[in-house]
Amino acid sequence: MKGCGVVAYLFLKINRCTLMFPKIILKKASQFWFFIFLVILFFLNSCQPSVKNSPKVTVSTTSVQKIDAVGNVLQNQDASFQDGGSYAAGTYWDCVWKKKDGLLWEVHTTATSDVGGKLRAIRNTNLNYNWYDGDASVKGIPSLDACSATTACDTSKFIAQLNVSKFCGSSSWRLPTSNELLTLVQDFSNPKIDGNLFPNTAYDAYWSSSSAANDGSSAIVVLFGQSATGIAKKDSLQKVRAVATKK
């Protein structure tokens, strides 16, 4: 805009100078100064900043979605969770899909019995599991007990039941890595997770699939009561939050 200021300044100087000339000179030079005036107007107009319409940016409000037991996205995504709520009202969901990383997470319940094969009982927040992935070489110990609302089993059996039933529309359920679990940590919450999305989360340690370094008989756990990681023996009983990959 400096160029525009210079042009405006010159126009004012020229205008002042013309007032000092005799009228006869002004009359003879009127056409000349009219031409100069038009030139100055042209330059002033060309100095105006151009304005372009900015493209509209659409912000996605569905980066996280609540899913029912068969894989349907709830129509109402804004309601709060209620034990005994309904899919129709949006007050009950079984999984949360985080679209950014493509991970589908299991949600805990307080149910003591299954409803319509939705595996609610074995996802009770009070249940604990010993670590086993079906491979004895990694030093996990299989449980002899079947998964139920009152009986703890091993992580492999728990994951297998989710996959057989295609829980939340997926058959790729597994234990999460420690890094995947840490993406759920939310320091300013208590427990350290978004309780609006993941209700019924315990303050305890949750198993990861990651074995401890230099100790195959232990695995890394994430403590949602303390926003920290730790090490637990694979034959100990800890919480589980299963994860699957959803595209």
Does residue 102 carry a pLDDT above 70? yes
Looking at the structure, tell me whether residues 116 and 30 fall in a common domain.
no
The one-letter amino acid code at 104 reads L
- Tens of pLDDT, residues 1-59: 444 443 334 333 444 444 444 444 444 555 665 556 555 555 444 443 333 332 332 32
58 in a domain, yes or no? no
100 in a domain, yes or no? no
Note down the domain range covering 23: 2-46
pLDDT in the model for residue 90? 97
Looking at the structure, tell me whether residues 17 and 121 fall in a common domain.
no
pLDDT in the model for residue 217? 92
Question: Residue 61 CA to chain centroid, in angstroms?
Answer: 10
Q: What is the mean pLDDT of residues 88-116?
A: 92
* 227 touches 205 (CB < 8 A): no
pLDDT in the model for residue 35? 58
79 in a domain, yes or no? no
pLDDT in the model for residue 62? 61
State how far the Cα of 149 lies from the Cα of 110, in Å rounded to an integer: 10
- Collect all residues with Cβ–Cβ distance below 8 Å to 95 and sequence separation of at least 6: 66, 67, 68, 69, 104, 105, 106, 107, 167, 168
156 in a domain, yes or no? yes
pLDDT in the model for residue 189? 87
Secondary structure in 3-state letters for 114-148: CCCCCCCHHHECCCCEECCCCCHHHCCCCCCCCCC
18 in a domain, yes or no? yes
More confident residue, 183 or 135: 183
Looking at the structure, tell me whether residues 129 and 231 fall in a common domain.
yes
Looking at the structure, tell me whether residues 115 and 191 fall in a common domain.
yes
Looking at the structure, tell me whether residues 33 and 131 fall in a common domain.
no
Ranges 4-18, 96-110, 113-127, 160-174: which has the least confidence: 4-18
Query: Domain tally for the chain?
Result: 2
94 in a domain, yes or no? no
Looking at the structure, tell me whether residues 40 and 114 fall in a common domain.
no
92 in a domain, yes or no? no
Looking at the structure, tell me whether residues 133 and 23 fall in a common domain.
no
More confident residue, 184 or 246: 184
- Collect all residues with Cβ–Cβ distance below 8 Å to 185 and sequence separation of at least 6: 192, 193, 222, 224, 227
- Collect all residues with Cβ–Cβ distance below 8 Å to 102 and sequence separation of at least 6: 245, 246, 247
More confident residue, 124 or 150: 124
Looking at the structure, tell me whether residues 118 and 40 fall in a common domain.
no
Question: What counts of helices (H) and strands (E) characterise the chain?
Answer: 4, 7
Query: What is the percentage of the chain residues whose pLDDT exceeds 70?
Result: 72
Q: Maximum CA pair distance of the chain?
A: 117
